[in-house]
Structure 1
Amino acid sequence: MTAASIAAAVRPSRARLFILALMTLATMLNYLDRAVIGVAAPSMSKELGLSAVVLGLVFSSFSWTYAAAQIPGGLVLDRLGTRLTYALSLGIWSLVTLLHAFAANLGMLLAFRFGLGVAEAPCYPCNSRILATWFPQSERARATSVYSVGQYFGLAFMTPLLFWIVAHWGWRALFLVVGGVGIAFGWGWYLLYRDPAQSLAINDGERALIAAGGGVDARPAATAFSWANVGRLLSKRQILGASIGQFASNSTLVFFITWFPTYLATERHMDWIKSGVFAVLPYIAASVGVLIGGAVSDWLIRRTGSANIGRKLPVVAGLLLTSTILLANYVDDNRLVILVMSIAFFGQGICNLGWTLISDVAPKEMIGLTGGVFNLCANLAGIVTPIVIGFVVAATGSFYGALAYIGAVALLGAGSYIFIVGDVHRVEL
């Protein structure tokens, strides 16, 4: 019997929904661990004597090793598989997060940021593999939107609590709490996660549904690494164009998880607690954007049968909305500023579909490496954006040029999806 006939004859189980819940929680912790420094920054910079330029360097330092470790992280994933790779990544990055609480100077802080970047590197390649192995193509955009909400949910609904912890117990307590929770969850992941072939919760109907929808083997024959393969991947317009687009999208995301609390406190003169309340709104908007983007993408594919329309059109629209962030330079009312920021971050949330597109186009034998290459290119934004903003703020005393930079990069990303990405289909090498 074919996979389609088995799926029709046997009612599929829904084990993939539990896997999606695990992935959502892991992604929430991933972004909470890297972003908590943004909440700690105003008080931490005073205690450690960090200027705007140095603070930008600290924000950027995570992405130096995070980007550099993407390809090795993808290779580790291809060798060890999702279960072990994700569990090790979770446990180690959470331990490093906890160690931030003991930073006594700039050198220690940079060392911990470097370690966090290395440890978190396999996360998104793992997510991409889970999408490709656990979900048929028609469900991947919605699955991406659900787990991507995790990266905003922790920031949106935890931000007031995080600012409250800073106000009452100091910035070091943030890292102790978040790191401790992550270490516990790393053990939970290893105990609970299984690939489809090993899962006892999945039935033949669900396996057939995934296979009929283009699901791939969780552990294909490993392809030996070579820089030639990296070059071959980047020579494909789908991968190169999506990587440029994700760089543009990540530039906005990096601003929100690093400089945004400082922007509210210094440029808009909101105290920490008030900043925490106001900061919730853009993250909620981004969460809504993620969910709407995934639902619209899958609906467009069902309606038109075209992955080009379903995957690319929402991302282009999201990047155009993101570019409106520069309008915050021209309004004085803080409520209007938050509205502009919310619209821009809503658009950035839609752009999480880039990971769905990569899961659709990655060569079957190089899903881990493709995810690593894609995330390497995307997270160059994490290196560039904080430093650019730090220098702009130090040189001009305002965020005017910083917001203009974010808006311009978003327009570059929209152009990449329009003119470079081309036809959306699984690449064969």
Structure 2
Amino acid sequence: MEQGSRAGRVRWTVLAMLFAVTVVNYADRATLSLAAPSLSADLGIDKLQLGIVFSAFGWAYVAAQVPGGWLLDRFGAPRVYFAVIVLWSLFTAAQGSVVWMSGATAITMLFAFRFMVGFAEAPSFPGNARIVAAWFPARERGTASAIFNSAQYAATVVFAPIMGWIIAGFGWPWVFAFMGAVGLACAAVWLRVVKEPRQHPRLGAAEMALIAEGGALVDPPAEARAQPRPGETRRQIGVLLGHRTLWGLYLGQFFINTLTYFFITWFPVYLVEERGLSVIKAGLFATVPAVCGFIGGVLGGVFSDWLLRKGYSLTMARKVPVVAGMLGALTILGCVYATSNTMILLFMSLAFFGKGVGALGWAVMSDVAPRDCAGLSGGIFNMFGNLSSIVTPILIGFILKETGSFDLVLVVVAVSALAAALSYLLLVGRIERIVTAA
């Protein structure tokens, strides 16, 4: 009995590692935004140029989604994920080297390093979804997906104050070196914790039966299909691009990520330049909406799985939190009219709580992804969703350069939340696993 109890915790240990790595993943994405006020002043970068540099991550991240998803299916998520943790950590650290450059050279190299961080991080979220689909039965999948997805908020809570302190005390180049070192430390632990279920030495028979009978994809893709048939990947992509429900998920994730990329790129700049906070205070201020987003993210997944256990359909259990959360995120419009930082904090916190509740796209993707191409499915989903990582920073930079104010920016973010809710209401149909078999 005791052995079965210990074995029953293995999947949660794997999830804890996913959460920790995703915290570092998002902290690396946000490092440039916290360094931006000092960095842009030192290097002479204007708002539009800064927006273009912010977007460098998105160009590579989007372009590498389909190849990254294929690699996950072909070689397995644990090995591919380890390699990319090492790569993105090295390129994060390299961004600090632009301090010794100037003018166009500095901007070009900063863009290039940021581009390579995006390229290396591309398989991360499809890998998260693939691992959760392999380790968790359907009735726990909403909670598990919400936990790893909520790591984006935990990244701000844990690292924003530390990064603000490093920038203020030692200078912005050191924050990149620090985050690179943290990432390499995570890579050293990864391979000891995360493996495919059938290859994990601590997984007991009882837990294996629980996850397998609950619909988990326990067989590693490389074992399931070592030599794909000619034209198989092309046929699978055709199915994944021709399904109405998937298009609803793609569009919904694009609009949800608009809120995400506002938060991890321009939000610290908003606090420093529009609200007059210091870098250290901005880092501390940003933790409150992040905590609310984290709480909302976990509660959204728990609520979704609770609905499922109460007998509601999978479709209802996933859609209700998403739509309700995105409508709740409309409270960000209150920031346009708020006159005090306290009110800004309140409206931002409510908005990101709602966004956290509604960010169940990865749970739905784990529910519907075809068994023979879960990694590829996640890659395409993440590719469309993260087009916003390109559009959002540049669009905001353009708006700020033309208007000098964040008011229109906040309206755009609110409209994106509404569009995400409508995508799930009008396009996403019945949520069930899609079959690609010819």
Scaled by the length of structure 1, the TM-score of the pair is 0.95
Q: How do 1:4-403 and structure 2 match up within 5 A?
A: 13-103=8-98, 104=101, 105-216=106-217, 217-219=219-221, 220-221=224-225, 223=228, 226-403=233-410
1:314 touches 1:350 (CA, 8 Å); kept in 2?
yes
The CA distance in 1 between the partners of 2:235 and 2:410, in whole Å, is 38
1:319 touches 1:348 (CA, 8 Å); kept in 2?
yes
2:236 touches 2:373 (CA, 8 Å); kept in 1?
no
The CA distance in 1 between the partners of 2:415 and 2:301, in whole Å, is 25
The CA distance in 2 between the partners of 1:401 and 1:305, in whole Å, is 39
1:70 touches 1:122 (CA, 8 Å); kept in 2?
yes
How big is the shift at 1:82? 1.2
How big is the shift at 1:226? 4.0
1:75 touches 1:225 (CA, 8 Å); kept in 2?
no
The CA distance in 2 between the partners of 1:316 and 1:304, in whole Å, is 20
The CA distance in 2 between the partners of 1:136 and 1:258, in whole Å, is 35
Q: CA RMSD in A?
A: 1.5
How big is the shift at 1:415? 0.6
How big is the shift at 1:349? 1.2
Aligned to 1:415: 422
1:144 touches 1:352 (CA, 8 Å); kept in 2?
no
1:136 touches 1:210 (CA, 8 Å); kept in 2?
yes
Amino acid at match of 1:138: R
Amino acid at match of 2:326: L
The CA distance in 1 between the partners of 2:12 and 2:292, in whole Å, is 24
Deviates more, 1:191-200 or 1:31-40: 191-200
The CA distance in 2 between the partners of 1:280 and 1:126, in whole Å, is 27
Q: Deviations over 1:8-52 (max 9, x none)?
A: xx7662210110111111111110111111110100110111101
Amino acid at match of 1:194: K
Amino acid at match of 2:255: A
How big is the shift at 1:228? 4.5
Aligned pair count reads 421
The SS at the match of 1:304 is coil
The CA distance in 1 between the partners of 2:235 and 2:407, in whole Å, is 42
How big is the shift at 1:211? 1.1
The SS at the match of 1:422 is coil
The CA distance in 1 between the partners of 2:422 and 2:43, in whole Å, is 41
Aligned to 1:7: none
Amino acid at match of 1:48: L
How big is the shift at 1:225? 5.8
Scaled by the length of structure 2, the TM-score of the pair is 0.93
The CA distance in 1 between the partners of 2:385 and 2:358, in whole Å, is 12
1:96 touches 1:115 (CA, 8 Å); kept in 2?
yes
Q: Deviations over 1:127-181 (max 9, x none)?
A: 1111111000000111112222322112113211211111010111110011011
The CA distance in 2 between the partners of 1:229 and 1:79, in whole Å, is 14
Amino acid at match of 1:107: T
The SS at the match of 1:259 is helix
How big is the shift at 1:194? 1.4
1:289 touches 1:348 (CA, 8 Å); kept in 2?
yes
The CA distance in 1 between the partners of 2:233 and 2:76, in whole Å, is 19
1:66 touches 1:120 (CA, 8 Å); kept in 2?
yes
How big is the shift at 1:325? 1.3
Structure 1 runs not aligned, ≥5 long: 1-9
How big is the shift at 1:227? 4.3
Amino acid at match of 1:221: R
The CA distance in 1 between the partners of 2:215 and 2:87, in whole Å, is 33
The CA distance in 2 between the partners of 1:290 and 1:213, in whole Å, is 23
Q: Deviations over 1:202-241 (max 9, x none)?
A: 1111111011110112323264664443232021122111
2:13 touches 2:193 (CA, 8 Å); kept in 1?
no
The SS at the match of 1:305 is coil
Structure 2 runs not aligned, ≥5 long: none
The CA distance in 2 between the partners of 1:230 and 1:106, in whole Å, is 36
* Cα separation, partners in 2 of 1:340 and 1:50, compared to 1, 3 Å: same
The SS at the match of 2:197 is coil
